[in-house]
Amino acid sequence: MVIKPDPNQPGSTHPVRILAYIETKKEEEGKFFFFDIACLGFKKEINLVSLQHQTMLTVSVKWQKKVFESIEIDTSQPPFVFKAQLYDLSGVPPERQKIMVKGGLLKDDADWSTLGLKNGQKLMMMGTADEIVKAPEKGPVFMEDLPEEQQAANLGYSAGLVNLGNTCYMNSTMQCLISVPELKSELSNYQSARTKDVDQTSHMLTVATRELFSELDKSVKAVAPMPFWMVLQKKYPQFAQLHNGNHMQQDAEECWTQMLYTLSQSLKLPSPSEDPDAVKALFGLNLLNRLHCQESSEESSETESVFSLKCHISHEVNHLHEGLKHGLKGELEKTSPSLGRTAVYVKESLIDSLPRYLTVQFVRFFWKRESNQKAKILRKVDYPLELDIYDLCSEDLRKKLEAPRQKLRDIEGQKLGLQASAKSSSKGDDVKMTDAEGSSNQSGESSTGDQQEGASPHMTGIYDLVSVLTHKGRSADSGHYVAWVKQESGKWVQYDDANTSLQRGEDIIKLSGGGDWHMAYIVMYKARLISM
């Protein structure tokens, strides 16, 4: 069966009604059908499923003093889709909706065929609308619709995200990820037609991420990420956990990790990208692990792929670099082939390949049995604006880094000489420096050196800080998460849910902990590349 939009009656692509023309091999003349798709707010390119044997019902729903007439139910879709439609109409989140049907309350995974619904039937719904997540009366204001003076005042960084009820963990994660232009480019090239290699929920979450990034780039007012949030909960049900009827606070690191994993599955498919695994190329690194048994001379090695490094915090750790060294060493128990039993192994890891964007998690939370929650280590751990991880790399990788690092030192030496010359010269003879002579390019590649034709960028092992995700509070399951992101202009912006504010660079490195103020939980660095 082939589905084509009818050019004469295009219908509406937002939010759920689409008029489609269906051609079959057995019929010479096509037929018109109306059908509903999950009300997830996607504005375009919705992946259509087979419409064969689809049954549509039309019902009305009474909620408080309102009656919503002529609501179409697609019985081939789970009731969760119907609840999403009612959310769009009433503002009552699906988890708060109590809809009376035959046998009790309507469940998200109920079988429509057992409920005995009939066309024209009136249903009763109870539930309280959440004012925070209620759809705005006016649509988002886009940059191009503003007067020129207001456009100029708002240029430079993306909009904030509305807190939908303990969703600061999600908002701060997405604000950090949207700051990666290469990721945005890969998402913009992602096709909406799902292939067999990607499961449905991963595909939906990838499309929702693409649409959210696009809306954030265009809007000058805070965006309510309800469509994205609903799909995230569908993909990862742990983010839908409730306590006393309200959504629970979640761990931002878990959200970050799950997002990168999902996108790595979706974006590694054939696309305009030169790299078949775009997310791994951007964020992934390989660790060379060497294992030594303490009870025998047995040794082994293995390669491990990860999306982040861990900064372990102890009373000896005062700086990020020290915590990284601790994180690359440890002990584990495994079966020893020579001993024929479980033994303790010492594990030492070295970085064997570098990512374009290096993510580091400060391991600040641990399980506290007494309080039955993730308690927080408040110890201050300083981190730099410029991070050099050369000494954490394997011997083979160090050899590859030597030539680019030498060229980088030569260029920076020339830069210092030019700066000294500029200070000693008169105003009329000021020396003009090019971007290539600066420490980094503000947009695109964080690179140094002249862009020669045919030259390719090389890693140096040096990284520049581009985003910080902080946590304020005493537990991972409570408190508040905020994102601090460096813009292409070089300025820093704080994203506190819907609120955005400019920050100074010196304020960013003060988020190192030691009290109840915001402290770094996840930091992201961008590789300083050099063309050779």
Is residue 224 included in any domain, yes or no?
yes
Please give the tally of structural domains in the chain.
4
What is the pLDDT, as a whole number, of residue 35? 37
Determine the average pLDDT of the residues in 457-481.
92
330 CB contacts (<8 Å, ≥6 apart)? 346, 347
Final residue in a domain of this structure, among 279, 308, 324: 279
Question: Two tokens at 228?
Answer: 């994205």
Q: Which of 169, 226, 179, 162 minimizes the C-alpha distance to 482? A: 169
CATH of the domain at 200: 3.90.70.10
CA dihedral for 164, 169, 172, 175, sign (positive or negative): negative
Query: Pick the residue with more confidence: 317 or 17?
Result: 317
pLDDT score, position 298: 84
For residue 151, give the 3-state DSSP assignment.
helix
For 324, phi and psi rounded to 5 degrees? -65, -40
What's the pLDDT at 133?
Answer: 46
pLDDT at site 423: 61
**Residue 405 domain flag:** no
pLDDT over 60 at 409, yes or no: yes
**Domain shared by 89 and 180, yes or no:** no
Claim to verify: residue 117 and residue 254 sit in the same structural domain: no
Specify if 353 maps to a domain: yes
- pLDDT(136) > 60: no
Mean pLDDT of the chain, nearest integer:
80
Q: Give the three-state DSSP class for 175.
A: helix
Q: Based on the fold, state whether residues 300 and 370 are members of the same structural domain.
A: yes
Average pLDDT of the residues in 24-44 = 37
pLDDT the model gives residue 275: 57
CATH number at residue 114: 3.10.20.90
Last residue of a domain, one of 32, 54, 76: 54
Residue 437 lies in a domain: no
From the CB of residue 96, how many other CB atoms can be counted at a distance below 10 Å? 19
Amino acid making up residue 246: N
Mean pLDDT value across residues 172-179:
97
Does pTM surpass 0.85?
no
Q: Is the pLDDT of residue 76 over 60?
A: yes
* Model pLDDT for residues 490-518, shown as the tens digit of each residue: 999 999 999 999 998 889 999 999 888 89
Query: CA-to-CA distance for 360 and 313, rounded, in angstroms?
Result: 13
pLDDT of 329 = 92
Residue 239 lies inside a defined structural domain of this protein = yes
- 293 has a pLDDT exceeding 80: yes
pLDDT for the residue 33: 37
Give the pLDDT score at 337. 84
- Domain assignment present for residue 136? The answer is no
* Rounded average pLDDT over 423-434: 46
Task: Assess whether 333 and 478 both reside in one domain.
Answer: yes
Using N-to-C axis directions, what is the helix angle for 181-188 and 200-218, rounded to 10°? 120
**Cα 284–chain centre separation:** 15
Across residues 373-385, what is the average pLDDT? Answer: 90
Both tokens of residue 431? 């020396």
Cis previous bond, 15, omega within 30: yes
Give the domain range for residue 527: 285-392+459-531
In the block, residue with structure tokens 């994205």: 228
- pLDDT value, residue 90: 86
Rounded Cα distance between 176 and 184, Å, is 12
**All residues at 6 or more sequence positions from 16 whose CB lies less than 8 Å from its CB, including other chains:** 36, 37, 38, 39, 85
Nearest of 380, 42, 33 to residue 210 by alpha carbon: 42
Is 50 exceeded by the pLDDT of residue 51? no
Biggest alpha carbon distance in the chain?
Answer: 89
Answer yes or no: is pLDDT of 13 > 90.
Answer: no
Which pLDDT score, from 0 to 100, does residue 145 have? 63
- Whether residues 272 and 331 share a domain: the answer is no
Q: What is the CA radius of gyration of the chain?
A: 27
Reported as half-sphere exposure (CB side, CA atoms, 13 A), residue 257 has a value of: 13
Arithmetic mean of pLDDT, 334-351: 88
For position 31, what pLDDT does the model report?
Answer: 38
Mean pLDDT: which of 73-77, 174-178, 473-477 is highest? 174-178
Residue 74 has pLDDT above 60, yes or no: yes
Lowest mean pLDDT among 12-21, 89-98, 493-502: 12-21
Query: How many CB atoms are located within 10 Å of the residue 83 CB?
Result: 22
Residue 81 lies in a domain: yes
Say whether both 293 and 255 belong to one domain. no
H-type alpha helices, 31-167: 79-90, 148-154
pLDDT, average across residues 484-493:
93
What pLDDT, in 10s, does the model give residues 214-248? 999 888 889 999 999 999 999 999 999 988 888 99
Q: Does one domain contain both 241 and 163?
A: yes
Mean pLDDT throughout 109-131? 86
Of the residues 10, 25, 54, which one is the last residue of a structural domain? 54
**Residue 113 confidence class, pLDDT cut points 50, 70, 90:** confident
Q: What whole-number distance in Å separates Cα of residue 152 and Cα of residue 59?
A: 49
Q: Using CB atoms within 10 A of its CB, is residue 253 exposed (0-12), middle (13-18) or buried (19+)?
A: buried
Whole-number Å distance between alpha carbons of 459 and 356:
8
Of residues 431 and 514, more confidence is placed in 514
Residue 429, in any domain of the structure: no
Is pLDDT at 16 greater than 80 in this prediction?
no
Half-sphere exposure of 433 (CA within 13 A, CB side): 21
Cα distance between residue 245 and residue 414, in whole Å:
62
Residues designated as active site: 168, 480
Q: Do 305 and 270 lie in a common domain? A: no
